[in-house]
Structure 1
Amino acid sequence: MKDQDRNDRESLEEIQAETTVSKNQTEQKQHKRRVRYKGTHPRSYQEKYKELQPEKYPETIEKVIQKGGTPVGMHISICVKEILDFLQIQPGQKGLDATLGYGGHTKEMLKCLQGQGHLYALDVDPIESVKTKERLEKAGYGEEILTIRQMNFADIDQIAREAGPFDFVLADLGVSSMQIDNPERGFTYKKEGPLDLRLNPQKGVSAAERLKEVTEEELAGMLWENSDEPYAEEIAVTVMEKLRKGEPVETTIQLQKAIEEALSFLPEREQKEAVKKSCQRTFQALRIDVNSEFEVLYAFMEKLPAALAPGGRVAILTFHSGEDRIVKKAFKELKRAGIYSEIAQDVIRPSAEECTRNSRARSTKMRWAVRAKE
């Protein structure tokens, strides 16, 4: 009987030991270590966790900036001094940041208000606007001084009816660095990701779907009109030929490879630089198309005067010739009509020092206007 009891106890202990081992193995499988920061130049988006957490790793962030780079997941605001010098924001005023983005410009304008007045901010991106709101709240800017709305700035008339007219307005066009850096958004040919390019991925169709809708002629026209692409026809022919054969053009790299193939007729010594520039222009053209960026800008420029208080000031940053032409023409026409009392006679550009510190500032142009006093 004693032998039986001893055998039973040993069997029970073996079962318990096996259960513990199994449990430990399960926990080990479930637990995943953070991706290590590989060397001094981690390549993948996930590996750059230090840059993605600027509040925890300020030294890493400063090193990246000092080298002329933009930390992943961040956006370095451009022409801040020039914007603030022109807007002349005073405590107690009411303003609008029509393109919130990372919130860098917003934060500087809020500082000028000194806790008096109110700033409204718009952003169509449901992913980044939430992050920016949390970031600004932690910095001490709550709803008593700042109101953030997920809206397209083409709807400036709606926010103006509710909160305007505004003493100052800022619009920083284009895409933010944190959108470009995230491969899941598909804004750059340099990283593998879905060919999406939507500022609001919850609405509309992706760039990959858009390519399936257009004809060869329409694609060539899009590339030429939206980005002055000199090889628009060659790229359109190659992309459409791939789609007709059933070959996918659904990722950023697949489109990049198609552009490389389209430009393979160029001399070898010219190909690398030509492909790079054509990729930049092609992605720009598709982004403008899927987000209806020119239509949105036209609507904004048309509704803008009614949203400004008499004597109100507006500054607009553009990043390519198509945007700048629309802004310049609208300001000039409305100046002649007496709607604006003053407009920028010459385009304002970032300083050489700023361009060295932030390479993404190089293509920036700033224009401004002052609403006539009634």
Structure 2
Amino acid sequence: MQGFLNAVTGIANESGFVGIMENPGYLIMIIVACGLIYLAIGKQFEPLLLLPIAFGMLLANLPFGEIIHMQYFIPPEGADPSLYPMFSEILHHGGLADMLYLGVKLGIYPPLIFLGIGTMTDFGPLISNPKSLLLGAAAQLGIFTTYIGAKLLGFTGPQAGAIGIIGGADGPTAIFVASKLAPELLGAIAVAAYSYMALVPIIQPPIMRALTTKKERMIVMEQLRPVSKLEKIMFPIICTIIICLILPTAVPLVGMLMLGNLMKESGVVDRINKTAGNELMNIITIFLGVSVGCTTNAETFLNKNTLFIVALGLIAFCFGTAGGVLFGKIMCWATHGKVNPLIGSAGVSAVPMAARVSQKVGQQENPQNFLLMHAMGPNVAGVIGSAVAAGILINMLK
């Protein structure tokens, strides 16, 4: 009987309940994870990535589960960064999430997701109206203003750059930059980026209405010209050469994005095009979401830096939206009313959600207004712009 009691006592002492009693932060994080799961399933906020991230967060905050060992990836203060990640320790003692997280740490998953995005992206509206590239560039204002704000709050240069990229409204890009510049902030940055991407239909409309007049919102734009197949094939090739010669650090993201698009537009590799856009992208999305979620344990997540990142992420989205709309107003003035400023808000790269928001707000003012295809130009330009901004930040700060 005494042996049975000792066994029960031993199990109880080693249970996760003891860990929660010792650190109530675990319970808070479990509640947060369940809240994110509800948003992913109940509200369908970016469910493809928010669901695995939230469940990874849940797994990481079950005490004593040791699903991931961040000490293998983040060097302690004063240690030699060249020794990290500690591959020998990971291979011999690492768990499932440690293995999966290598794809994040080594910068493998985000470029592969960009490959899949490329297979689903139509650059036709951008080719048809090259001026929309300027709107995509203007919407990157949120990245650089947030970088300045993060510096003023005491973050280091690399940390500020990783936080600023949230303003690009591109989850894979945010993860890629954070893994290079500030891996210790990766979990908070990923959660903030995908949460705000899901909230684009709520965040953007008030800003769009505040910065435009009713007359501007009612502007009906001319139909875009047809784009030839040759133009669609040449565009990813020319883009890759020009951008990557100017900014070699953008090669992983821009190169994979354009490769995926070239596979789509060429029409000669249907099998691998479908694989990259479906099976491969789905697999990488699972690996990326779970491994990133596992980095958000109570010890690293529950601190003032996380609160700052969440606040700065919101500021980044607001400034990005405002930058695109304000530049849209300039283009509206320069073209004597031929450009509806609402399409500038789509310059953030939440594809195609931001373009749909432009369409919705425009139709609320004028039911005969169809802005979706016009907004897709700056929307896909925003994808390129965020990748270029990522390359600039990595080049400057790493």
TM-score (norm 1): 0.28
Relative to its length, the structure with more strand (as a share) is 1
Q: Which has the larger radius of gyration?
A: 1
Q: TM-score, normalised by structure 2?
A: 0.27
